[in-house]
Structure 1
Amino acid sequence: AIRDAVVEGLRDGTLVAPHQRTRATGVALVGGGPGDPDLITVRGRRLLAEADVVIADRLGPRDLLAELPPHVEVIDAAKIPYGRFMAQEAINNALIEHAKQGKAVVRLKGGDPFVFGRGMEEAQALAEAGIPCTVVPGISSSISVPGAVGIPVTHRGVAHEFTVVSGHVAPDDERSLVDWASLAKLTGTLVILMGVDKIGRIAETLVAHGRSPETPVALVQEGTTAAQRRVDATLATVADRVVSEGVRPPAVIVVGDVVGVGPHGTA
């Protein structure tokens, strides 16, 4: 049993023998998945086990940081200085600085690096600095979090497509790149990330452009973690439900008939 446990640990990266630590210099952009530490990829976990420096997002499998050896420097990306608007540039500079010191650097991100994770911005900055970069895809919360509460983003006879959209700016915000009027005309599933505080205005916009106010909506807070919870509503009621139920980020919002396919139904 001990032998098998050791072999399994070496395989998935939870146990790394000294001679296995290749410590390749450069940066690995690792998608950590939606939050459950078991949902990081095997490759991501191996690279994390071999890192000298880990720059971690607030979201993602932060429990894995406790497993790192004492010599590993862990940097909380949310606490990198220079202010909110300089944060991404400061993160890029930190990645480059540590990599140029010959260290193996892991940028641990929630979900997938290229799904609203600014992964390409970091990859471009590293390329400009001549730093080798490895991208390790992660399980996106846009699919996994609905699945964790029994909601399929597609289902035969119900939805033949799903659209993933950022809700971090309101539909009437001039910075928005989303064509909400066109989204309202689709019959498939709409998955909204980073939209908790804007969901009322989003719902109003979808209804104004033709989506039924009775369209089912599910909000899944802290999906795949021990604190996971689901709140059901409709486009007509979702704004009030967010307030009455105290829904807070991070939460994935699912809009469409697939919400009623599983065992919960709508409220």
Structure 2
Amino acid sequence: MKNSLPYKIITQVICVVLLVILVFPLYLMLEKSLAVSGFGNYAKVFEYFNLIPNVITSIIVVGGTLIVVSIVVSMAAYAFSKLEFPHKQAVYYLILTGMMIPTSALIFPLYQIVRGLHLNNTGWSLVFPYATASACFNLMVLTNYYNALPDELIDAAKIDGANKWTTFIQIMLPIAKPGLVFVLIQTFLSAWNELQMAIIFINDTSKQPLSVVPLRFAQTTSSSGFTINNLFAACIICLLPIAVFYIFASRQLMAGLTAGAVKG
């Protein structure tokens, strides 16, 4: 049935319809951003706002989150997959239950911790909350990836005299690179686009990450001089970094999704 002509036509039509639904809002945003004044709408955005501090905050937040996730999650996933310690399965599934807790329920206790550490109103106030929010899913993905790797690799390393740390750093981690890259890309996308905690933890608008800036644009639109076309241009500017990143990272993202499925 899957090779029949009607099936192929129906699936292609469905794909085209879904593509139009996804792309049309982006096309509308781009078309409106160039209406009336053309690229002058983009120039006016930079006349109204200095976005450099917001970009710096986003880089600090995303970069710090990626560093924490790459270190903590990669080691934790390897431990749960290949090492033996008491109550390993119970601890693993207990951590995974964190995926059932909505992020909004964690905002108040996380804010209390951030304020107690005097990190509020800084980009660093979002690093550990973002890393924590994505830890459960990332741990599950990377643990399953390590599970697909043969234990004979570890046995061969032991025969060669490698200890557990050397085995992890020099053998297992390089092999698990596609899975780790997938985890880091997912973390990058979620950290760059997160809005709720960014608004609550950082009150100073000049220090907020770029994901919050469109709200300032929308508020400015109600005042004189900043039109709806300028608003769409501002949204395109905020969308551009993540779009460029996704274009270059899409191949690695698909490799991370498929590599673990064909191992073992």
TM-score by length of 2: 0.24
Normalized per residue, the structure richer in helix is 2
Of Structure 1 and Structure 2, the greater strand share is in 1
TM score, norm. by length of structure 1: 0.24
* Structure showing greater Rg: 2
